[in-house]
Amino acid sequence: MASSNGGPLYLGFDLSTQQLKGLAVSSDLKVEYEAKFDFDADSHGFNIKKGVMTNEAEHEVFAPVALWLQALDSVLQKLRDQGLDFRRVRGISGAGQQHGSVYWSKDAEKLLANLDKNKTLEEQLPGAFSHPFSPNWQDASTQKECEEFDAYLGGAEVLAKATGSKAHHRFTGPQILRFQRKYPEQYKNTSRISLVSSFLASLFLGAIAPFDISDVCGMNLWNIETGSYDDRLLQLCAGSFEVEDLKRKLGDVPKDGGLHLGKVHRYYVERYSFNPDCIVLPSTGDNPSTILALPLQPSDAMVSLGTSTTFLMSTPNYKPDPSTHFFNHPTTPGLYMFMLCYKNGGLAREQVRDAINDKVGGDTSKNPWANFDHALLNTPAMGQKSPSDPMKMGLFFPRPEIVPNVRSGQWRFTYNPANQSLTETLEGWDQPLDEARAIVESQLLSLRLRSRGLTESPGDGIPPQPRRVYLVGGGSRNRAIAKVAGEVLGGTDGVYKLDVGENACALGAAYKAVWAVERKPGQTFEELIGQRWREEEFIEKIADGYQPEVFAKYGVAVEGFDKMEQQVLVKEAHR
């Protein structure tokens, strides 16, 4: 898309599992150009499927780093072919799939510094890596290492308190521990280790870029409370190698998410006609970048209603737990990014939808959700036809869940708030019609349960709750679900649908570049972007939020929901 405006532009990149996307925005945040490189469809020379390679025997999932080099030159060429004048570009930032790691060789700095405009990145950098592959976030080869990480400080709770998360297969600390054990010579010959985000920044900088203050929290190595690497965890991760050597491989972490790392390397000036004064900014992880796609205020919540469910919140409160993730905020000191990840989301709702359609019948070809929505809206909250009725609640997991950590299955209960009794029973349930309400409530009550204590009261006796609830993903189009989201989660300013298509990560990166280059002293990301962001283009209010009586009712229900989860966990532990 060509532009008639000759003002400054800012580039944002999203290096995800299956594609590299690049887009350019103007100072007033309008997208002027965008291009992408689909790894499966557009690459050549790589035996990949959905962007990755697998070794099923060892549960490994990884990507060839050279694939990403090929992609970057291609996206830049596509942007230039569209007419983008790179001389207008004043800043570059990026987002990278979280937790992936890149292992640079001892020749990397020299090769990066001496890039030749007449050759592609892929042609010039095969010798820049001590290991040609990057573990992907889907990798599950580190069970042994995760158990060691969880135990090393005295338990998963202690590790989560220090690093924001318990140990996870995909997190970079356990991945490095396994790498140095499996490939000791390659580890020994590694000069630096990058995350996917800092790898992307390094390519533009022509030197190894530091980790971003937010993305570094996805490693199980960064102590969020002390604001530094945790020496105890570095000792575990280094194994028989020197801890100081691992520290050098990781490098320092600047606290300023908008730090000017340096000017773009001359390769891009000479090959693509970039402005030689273009600034390279820190790149961050894809989830932190997503919350930068809008000026998310403290206590605003973003709920992704896709195949899985993801909950993101900007909060000043650091209250880690093994079932959640905390990261430093990517731009704003004093704020944290709180994240919940569930395997079950849209798939679970679809199973209930299909059961209702089978029972009710009718033509569902135009709107397969019509019967589900009708059942959802015509069933009282918690299935109570009168206040004295027990509350109906359940867990619906077609896939094994991680929050809580339990097998696939379905459990249905009634909860009596008067005496706090909980009974696993189908008595009183109108199956499957009651389940439309129950499954939506269960998914939202889990979010409310785990985000308690992270929001502030707006005053006037109103309970703590999000200011706004933003819905994204396929389920965000369902206004019946949005209505219940406002009832359960609240939202003093309502429930909104956020529509940025598939551009959220790249947009967040581009917005970060705008802020980092154009900010005034002391001006926060939220202040600058909030002044320029056009709500009418991206968001639509689709449901009311806080309603005192129903919000209080769900406050009672969340206690029963907590009891239900604990009872299921105990029962399953004794199977």
**pLDDT, tens digit, for every residue of 284-326?**
999 999 999 988 888 899 999 988 899 999 999 999 999 999 9
**pLDDT, tens digit, for every residue of 264-288?**
999 999 999 999 999 999 999 999 9
CATH superfamily of 9-287: ATPase, nucleotide binding domain (3.30.420.40)
Whether 555 has a pLDDT exceeding 70, the answer reads yes
Residue 209 φ/ψ region, left for φ over 0, alpha for ψ in the -120 to 50 degree band, beta for the rest:
beta
Give the integer Cα–Cα distance in Å for 397 and 344: 6
Neighbours of 380 (CB within 10 A): 12
Amino acid at 211: F
Confidence band for 538, pLDDT divided at 50, 70 and 90? confident
The closest alpha carbon to 500, from 295, 355, 334, 307, belongs to 295
pLDDT of residue 537: 86
**pLDDT, tens digit, for every residue of 184-226?**
999 999 999 999 999 999 999 999 999 999 999 999 999 999 9
Q: Residue 500: CA atoms inside 13 Å, Cβ hemisphere, count?
A: 25
**pLDDT, tens digit, for every residue of 443-481?**
999 999 999 989 989 888 999 999 999 999 889 999 999
What mean pLDDT do residues 42-70 have? 96
Confidence band for 5, pLDDT divided at 50, 70 and 90? low
Whether 6 has a pLDDT exceeding 90, the answer reads no
The closest alpha carbon to 257, from 229, 285, 231, belongs to 285
Confidence band for 1, pLDDT divided at 50, 70 and 90? very low
Q: Could you tell me the residue ranges of all domains in the chain?
A: 9-287, 353-451+549-573
**pLDDT, tens digit, for every residue of 489-510?**
999 999 999 888 788 999 999 9
pLDDT of residue 2: 41
What mean pLDDT do residues 39-43 have? 97
Give the integer Cα–Cα distance in Å for 427 and 416: 14
